[in-house]
């Protein structure tokens, strides 16, 4: 059994002497947690999509799955790493570790429940290489966007292709961030002068989770704490903080409305009644537009987000260098380029 290994002085996660001198053109980092039902299809789509790009490597970082994700992934010619401490099993931590291990000058990040669309990786890779000012590219999920041409954006998400040097320059993914790590990285790249684009073509198919079960999952995983955590971390950088605040302006408005309702109880029953009536009218309007189930999900989700913000803002920022790479187990290492 392979034991836990730490980064050496060259920031190489137990690569060993069997790593070839040839460097891959592309490193693919796949992050997983309990994806036994989808990981085989995900990896098959990765190999099919990347073969036209050139030499590539695949690095899968698993967040201590309790199902057969790792066993299934071991059947593929990939490097397989595992975060063994549940305290550090976040998507951002997986991307951070994968970046540390990646040898390519371009990195594609993929979630383990995604299925890449044929041809998109080649399209994105060509776009990135043909435009020197571009440091990151993503695409649409599940269906084409309304735009017919690539659109410049401030952040990319989902299946995303980055220039590794640009990512490293701004500090990369924050391994301690509970959520919004891709948005935060995109904003930092933009402020550093990097250019990000979203292609109109579909990058991948991705299951969309809705309903109470998804809200519970986000609460249990700490996902909803990410907003408060990100805002606190961004506070010393006014421009970065402003970008985050602008992005969540509607959530702030709704959160302020709920806060006003709670505070009104201490001042005037009449004001509270007016607040409750206005809220019910808004909910009724939303239900006519989106349906009662979706209206409830949005209203309750935003209210829960406010609570998550209060939890998240209490989390002090930590330097990425403090992430315990000693907790990373090298399950399998493949040195042959694909």
Q: Is 123 exposed, middle or buried (0-12, 13-18, 19+ CB in 10 A)?
A: middle
- Reading the block at residue 277, the tokens are 């009536």
Tell me what pLDDT residue 17 has. Answer: 41
pTM: 0.87
Mean pLDDT over 172-190 rounds to: 96
- Separation between Cα atoms, residue 60 and residue 65, nearest integer Å: 12
pLDDT reported for residue 261:
85
> Structure tokens of 177?
């961030």
pLDDT at 218 (0 to 100)? 66
Contact 79, 57 (CB under 8 A): yes
Topology of 26-209+319-332 in CATH?
Spore Coat Polysaccharide Biosynthesis Protein SpsA; Chain A (3.90.550)
Q: Which residue has the higher pLDDT, 195 or 313?
A: 195
Q: What local confidence, expressed as pLDDT, does residue 310 receive? A: 81
- H or E segment and range at residue 107: strand 106-111
pLDDT tops 80 at residue 338: no
Here the tokens at position 225 are 């704490």
End-to-end CA distance of the chain: 25
Collapsing DSSP to helix, strand or coil, 51 comes out as: coil
Question: Does residue 166 contact residue 99 with C-beta atoms inside 8 Å?
Answer: no
Number of H-type helices and E-type strands within the chain = 12, 10
Which range is least confidently modeled, 31-40, 144-153, 229-238? 144-153
Per residue in 42-86, pLDDT (tens digit) is 999 999 999 989 999 999 999 999 999 999 999 999 999 999 999
Q: DSSP for 178-239, please give it.
A: SS-HHHHHHHHHHHTT-EEEEEEEEEEE-----SHHHHHHHHHHTGGGHHHHHHHHHTT-HH
| Half-sphere exposure (Cβ direction) of 198: Cα atoms closer than 13 Å | 19
Residue 181 contacts residue 174 (beta carbons within 8 Å): yes
Residue that wins the pLDDT comparison between 187 and 11: 187
Least confident of 26-40, 99-113, 187-201, 203-217: 203-217
Query: What is the per-residue pLDDT for 10?
Result: 39
Q: What are the residue ranges spanned by the domains of the chain? A: 26-209+319-332
Contact 164, 106 (CB under 8 A): yes
Report whether 78 contacts 58 (CB < 8 A). yes
Q: pLDDT tens digits for 204-227? A: 999 876 655 666 666 666 678 888
The whole-number pLDDT of residue 5 equals 44
Q: Can you say how many angstroms the Cα of residue 30 is from the centroid of all Cα atoms in its chain?
A: 11
Identify the CA nearest to 182 among candidates 210, 203, 154. Answer: 154
């Amino acid at each position: 059994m392979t034991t836990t290994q730490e980064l050496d002085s060259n920031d190489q996660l137990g690569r060993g002497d069997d790593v070839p001198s040839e460097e891959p053109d592309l490193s693919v980092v796949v992050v997983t947690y309990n994806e036994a039902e989808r990981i085989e299809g995900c990896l098959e789509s990765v190999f099919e999509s990347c073969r036209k790009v050139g030499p590539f490597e695949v690095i899968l970082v698993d967040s201590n799955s309790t199902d057969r994700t790792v066993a299934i992934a071991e059947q593929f010619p990939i490097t397989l790493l595992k975060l063994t401490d549940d305290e550090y099993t976040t998507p951002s931590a997986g991307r951070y570790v994968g970046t540390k291990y990646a040898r390519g000058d371009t990195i594609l990040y993929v979630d383990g429940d995604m299925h890449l669309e044929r041809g998109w990786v080649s399209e994105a890779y060509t776009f990135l290489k043909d435009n020197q000012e571009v440091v990151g590219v993503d695409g649409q999920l599940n269906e084409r966007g309304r735009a017919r041409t690539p659109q410049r954006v401030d952040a990319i998400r989902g299946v995303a292709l980055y220039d590794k040097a640009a990512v490293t320059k701004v500090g990369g993914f924050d391994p301690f961030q509970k959520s919004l790590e891709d948005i935060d990285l995109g904003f930092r790249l933009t402020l550093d002068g990097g250019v990000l684009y979203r292609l109109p073509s579909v990058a991948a198919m991705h299951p969309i989770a809705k309903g109470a079960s998804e809200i519970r999952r986000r609460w249990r995983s700490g996902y909803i704490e990410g907003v408060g955590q990100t805002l606190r971390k961004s506070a010393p950088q006014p421009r970065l903080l402003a970008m985050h605040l602008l992005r969540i302006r509607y959530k702030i408005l709704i959160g302020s409305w709920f806060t006003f309702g709670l505070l009104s109880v201490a001042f005037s029953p009449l004001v509270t009644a007016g607040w409750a009536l206005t809220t019910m009218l808004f909910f009724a309007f939303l239900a006519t537009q989106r349906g009662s189930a979706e209206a409830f999900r949005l209203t309750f989700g935003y209210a829960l987000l406010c609570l998550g913000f209060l939890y998240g803002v209490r989390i002090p920022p930590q330097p990425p260098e403090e992430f315990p790479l000693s907790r990373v187990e090298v399950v399998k290492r493949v040195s042959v380029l694909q």
